[in-house]
Amino acid sequence: MSRVLCALADLPDPGAKGPIRVTIDGEAKAVFVVRVGDILTAWIDSCPHLGAPLEMEEDRFLDLTGGEIICAVHGARFHPETGACLWGPCRNGRLTPYPIRVVDGSIVAAV
């Protein structure tokens, strides 16, 4: 059975949900899910620059326009669809994706 991360209806557009605790290769990690229009992505909650969590507070990963993911530690900005760093000390880096899919109105881990 796939791990349910959140209900699609609970994810605003644009918006994010997380951190959500998961186990990856036997290690506890946090992920977050992002919705911008019809695009749904999930990322490991770890800045590629410092490894720090990105969220400003629970479910707050996006800038005020909902167009970019922001690292709360140093303000780096990431593209919500590709995870590419657009600005900040991790320039040319990217977030680590976490595979998801939608099943019966729920966003579930695809691993």
3-state secondary structure of 73: coil
What pLDDT does residue 1 have? 53
Give yes or no for residue 31 having a pLDDT over 80.
Answer: yes
For the record, the structure tokens of 66 come out as: 């909902």
pTM assigned to the model: 0.94
Euclidean distance between CA atoms 28 and 97, whole angstroms: 16
Domain ranges of the chain: 4-109
What pLDDT does residue 66 have? 92
Determine whether domain 4-109 maps to CATH 2.102.10.10.
Answer: yes
Q: Residue 96: which of 107, 77, 75, 82 has the closest Cα?
A: 82
Give the mean pLDDT of 78-106.
Answer: 94
* C-alpha dist (Å) from residue 74 to 54, 70, 87: 9, 9, 10
